[in-house]
Structure 1
Amino acid sequence: MKHYYCLAFAFFLSVYTLSAQEIQKIDSINAILVQNSSLKTDSLLVIFENNLKAAQKIDYKKGIGESYKNLATTYGYEANGEKRVAYNLKAIRIFEENDLKPQAANLYGEMGYGMKRDNMERAEYYMNKGLKMAEEGNYKEVLDRTYNNYGVLKEMQGQLDSALYFYKKGLAIVEERKYTKGLPYSYSNLAGAYGQMGNFDLARDYFYKAKAIREEINDRKGIAENFTQIGEVYMAEGKPAVAIPFFEKSLPIARKEDYRFLMQYTYQQLSEAFKQMQQTDSALYYFEKYAVFKDSINSLETTKQIAALEIEFETEQKENQILEQRAQLAEKDLEVRRKNTYVYGSLGLAIILGLLGYLIYTRQKQKNRQLQKENELQVALAKIETQNRLEEQRLRISRDLHDNIGSQLTFIIISLDNLNYMLKDTGQEIKDRIVAISSFTSVTINELRDTVWAMNKESISLIDLKNRIEALIDKARESNAKTQFEIQLQDSEKHFEFSALEGINVYRIIQEAVNNALKYAAAQTICVKMKISDFKYKIVILDDGIGFDINEGKSGYGISNMQKRANDIDADFKISTTVNKGTKILLQSKLEKITM
C-alpha cells in the first residue's frame, strides 16, 4: 500500500512539473513583441496558432487569451481587419470571464488603437474603457502603452496639446519602469506631435533617438516607421526632395516585414512628394501602388464584417448581463423566502443583527467622513503649494522685468522730459533726440520679447539659443557694416538643453558683451565661440577693439550686470582686457575643463 502511494505521488509530481514547464513555455512565446520581432508575419501566425493549441490543451486561460491577442496584432500588420477584431473579441471574453483585469485593460486599449483609422468614435470608446481599468488597478505596464496610444488618437483629431499631455505621461511611466523597448514608442509619438506644431528640428531629434534604440533591439517594423516619419517631417517643411530617400529606405523593410499599412501610407507619401516636385510620372506610379493597397485593405465587405463582429460581441455581453441579473433576482427571491420561513423564530436574533449592522454602518460612516476630511485637507495643501509656486514664479518674472526693462523705461521718461524742455528752440538736435529715443524704445521692446521668449519655455535647447544669437548678430551687422562677426559652435551633445533661467541669462551676457564691443570698443572683428561637452558649456566673446584698463574701476554697470547674471546661474565669469589689444569675456559651467 505504501508503495502505491509513493507511485501516485510521483505521478502527480511529474504531471505538475510538466504543466508548469508548459505554462512557462506558453508565456515566453506570448511575451514576443510582434513589432520588435525579426520574424515575418506568416511565421508569427504559425507560432501563435501552435501556442494557442498548447494553451487550450492544458486549459491555461491566460495563455489562451494572450495567444488570441497576439494573433489579432499579427493580422493587424497583415491588414486583415476582420480577423484582427475577431481574435481580439475572443481574447477579451477569456480575460473578462477569468478576472484577468490587467490583460483586459491592455487589450481594450489595443483594440481602440487598432480601430483608429476605421472608426474614431469606437476607437475612443475602447481606449477609454481600457484606460479606466488600468488607472483603477494602477497597472503601470499597461498605462505606459495606453497613454501613448491615446495620445495618437488625440493627435489624429488635431488635439496636439492633449496628445503631448498623454505622450509625456506615457514616457514618464516608461522611464520609471526602465522599460527600454517602450522608449521608441514615446519618442516617436512626441516627434510626430512636435512636427505638426512646426518644431521640425526637435521632431527629427526624437525620431532619430527612437530609431537608434530600435536598431539596438532589432525592431525592423519600428525602423521602417521611423524612416517614413522622418520623411514626413521634411515634407511638412516643404522639402520633398530630401524626404524621398527616407520613404525609399522604409519601403523594402516594410515589404520584408509584410507591414502593409505602412507600405500603403509610404506609397501615398511618395506620390505626394513627386507631385510637389512636378514629376508626374513618378507621382502617378506611386499613387497607383497606393490605390491597390487601399482597395485591398479598406474594402466595404471587410468593414461590414468588422461591424457585425462588434455587434455580436456587444449582444453577447448584454445577454450575459441579463442572465446575471436573472440569477441575482432568483437568488434574492430565494433569500426572501428563507427569511419569511424563519422570521418569527429568529426575530430576536434579527434585532441583534440589526443593531450590530447599525453600529458597523455608523462606524464605517464615521470612518468615511474622516477619510473625506483627510482627502480634502490634502487637496487644500496641494492647492496652497501650487499657489506658492506660482507666486514664486511671478516674483522671478517681476524681478527680471524690473532689472531689464525698468531702467530703460526710466531713461525714456527722463529723455522725454529733456525733450519737452528743448522744444523751446526747435532744431536738428531735437530731431536727433527723438530718433534716439525711438531706437532705444525698439531695443526695449526686443528685450521684452527675449524675456517673454524665455518665460514661455520650460527649457531652452542649444538650437533655440544659437538661433537667438544669430538673430542678435544679424541686427548688429545691419547697424554696423564695418565690423566683421563670427559665430563658432562645437557641439558634442546633440540634446543639450539650458533651463529657462540659464538660457536667458547666457543670452543676456552675450548680448551685453556684443553691444559693449560695438558701442565702446570700436572693434573691427567680434567673435562668439561656444563649445558643449559632457553636458557642460563654455562661451567666449572676443573683440579686437581699444580695450580698457580694468584696474581703473570704470567698467560701468554692464560688466557688473554680466557678473550678477553669471552668479544667478552658478557659472564662472571672467573678463580680461588690455588697452589697444581688445577684450575677452569667458562664461562657463562651474569646474569646467573644456579647452577651445
Structure 2
Amino acid sequence: MSKKILFFLLLFPFFSKAQDIQAHINSLKAELKIKPNLERTTQIYSDLTWDYMDVSLDSAIVYGEKALALAHKTKKHKLISQCYSNLGGVYLRKENFKKSEENYQKAIQIRTTNKDFEGVAKAKINIGNVFASKQEYVSATKYFIEAIQYFEGKNDTIVSLTKGNLGLIFYEMKNFPKAIKYLEESTDFLKKNNMQQGLCHTYLSLGDVYLDKKDTLKALNSYKISLENCKSCKDNLGISTLNQRIGAVHSAKGNSENAKKYYQISEKLLKELNSEIEQTNVMLSKSEDFIQQKKYREAYEMLLQVKKIHKEYHSDRYLLETYKKLTLVCLYQEMKDSSAFYFNQYASLKDEKLKASVLEQTAELETKYETAKKEKLLLQKEVESKRKTATIIILALVAFFIALVGFLIYRQLKLKNQQQQQEFQLKSAIAQIETQNKLHEQRLAISRDLHDNIGAQLTFIISSVENLKFGFPGIEEKVKTHLSKISDFTQTTIVELRDTIWAMNTNEFKFEDLSSRIYNFIEKAQSVRENIRFQFVIDDNVKEAKFSSLEGINLYRTIQEAVNNAMKYADADAITVHVLREIETIKIEIKDNGKGFDADETDYGNGLYNMKKRIEEIGGTFQLHSEISKGTTVTVMLTHKNW
C-alpha cells in the first residue's frame, strides 16, 4: 500500500488560519477591491497563497509569485522572507523539492542577514520537511533538532509539532516505538490546546504506524479521529489522504466496493487541488486493489500512467515503488521481458540514489578536511606571531583533530555499512544471473529434445507417407491426395519447429539474422506463386538493430502471416516487404496491390487478431489499412533501447 507522509509546515499564518477558508478568501479579495497600500496588498496576497494551499495549488503559486514581486518593492525583509517561505510550502505540497528548497534557503539567508533567529529556526523546520520528503533523514533530523533546541521553553506549540515530524522520520525508518513516542507527545499537547489542524496530521501519522504494525483496529480508529479534525479545519489535502488510507485498508480486507467509495472521494478532492502528484498516490492504492482482485491488465495500465507522472516530477521515491509493482504485474501476466525490464529500472534507480548519497557525503567529508587543513595553517601562523598564546592554540588544535578523527571514523563506519549493502545487492544480482543461466541451459535442452525427438518423428512420418504412396501403386487417387496433404502439413510443421528452435537458442540477435529467415520464406512463397512479384527491401541502418528471441519470433510470424494473407485472399500480383528506420523506431510495411476490403466493416479474424496481439506483446503498434481495389498495407512500429 502506498503512503504519502504529511510533514507539518510552519509558515507565519499557521496558528491564525481561518476556520472557513473560502469565507476568509472572499474577505481578502473584497479588501483588495478597495486598493489598500502596498504593504497591506502584499500581505493579502501572502495570506491568499497560504489559504489556497488547501484549495488549489496552482492558484497558490500564482498568488505567491504576486506577493513576492510586491514584497521586493516594499523592501521589508520579514515580508520578503515570509513570501519565500509560503512558496517553499506550496512547492513542497506539489513535491517540486528543488524549487521548495531554493525558496526556503532564500528565506533563511534573508533572516540570517537580518538576525531574525526565530524566523531562521522556523525556516529550518520547513527545509527539514523537504529533506524528509526526499528521504534524506540525517539532514532532516539535523534541522529539526536545531529548531527544537531554539524553541525549547519559548514556543511549546512549535516544539510539539516538530516532535511530530521527528516521529514521522522514525516511522519512515521503521522504528515504530520511537515514532509512537514522539507522535503521542505531540498529540497530547495538541489535544490540550484544541489544535485541530495539528491533530488532523498527528492522528493520520499514528494510523499509518499502527497499520504498518498490522493493528488495523487502532489504525482505523486513528484515521477516523484524524478525519473529524481535518473536516473541522477544512483541510482538503488531509481529508483526501485519509479517504485514500481508509480505502486502502478496506481493499486489504478484500472489501473492494467500500474501498472504491473512499477512493472516489479522495480523487474528487485532489482534482479540486490540481495536484497530479497527489492523485498518483490514489492511483497506486487502486492498482493494489486491482492486483488483489487479479485484474492485472487494469493495474498495469494504471501503473503506466503513474510512472509517467512520477518521471515528469522526478519523484524517485514513488517511482521506485511503481517500478516494483510493474515488475510484479508483468510477471503475473507472463510478460517476462517487460518484468525483467522494470526490475532493471528499479535496480538502476535505486543504485543511482545510493551512489548520489555516497558522493554527496564524500564531498562533504573532503570539504571539511580541506577546511581543517586551512584552519591548521592559520593557527600555525598565529603561533609564530603570538608566542604567548602558543599553549592555548596547541590545545585547541589537539581538541580539533580529536573531533575530526572521531568524525572521520564515524563517516568511515557509515561508508563501510553502505558498501556492505552494495555487496549484498551485488550478490543478489549474481544469484539472479545464475538463475537466468540455468533457465538458458534448460531452454537449450528443450530445443535439443525438440530437434532430436519430435523433429526425427516428423521426418519419419513424412518418410512413411511417401512409402505408402509409392509402395501401393493401386491405391486410390483420393487417398494419395490426402497422404500428400499430410506430407505437406508435416513439412510445414518441421519448418515452424526449426524456426522456434532457432529463436529459443538465441538470447539476442540482430535484424540481419532475422532477415535471412524472411528471405528464405519469401523465396519459398515465390516458388509456390510464380505469378506474384515479391520484393523484400531492408535499409542498411536497420541490420544492426538487436532483438530478444521473443521479439524476433513474433516479428517473423507477423510478417509470415501478412504475406500468406496477401497470397491467399488478395488476388495480388505484387507483394512488398519494406523495413526502414525512423529515428529510434523501426517501421515494417507489408503491402500488396490486391482487391483490398473495407476494414471498418470487417471483423478481425484469428490471423489478424494474432498478428496484433504478437506486436503489442513486444511493445509495438500494429496498423491495418485497406481500400477496395487499392490493396492492403500492414504497418508495424517498434521502439527499443538497443536501436
Could you state the TM-score of these two structures normalised by the residue count of structure 1? Answer: 0.45
TM-score scaled by structure 2? Answer: 0.42
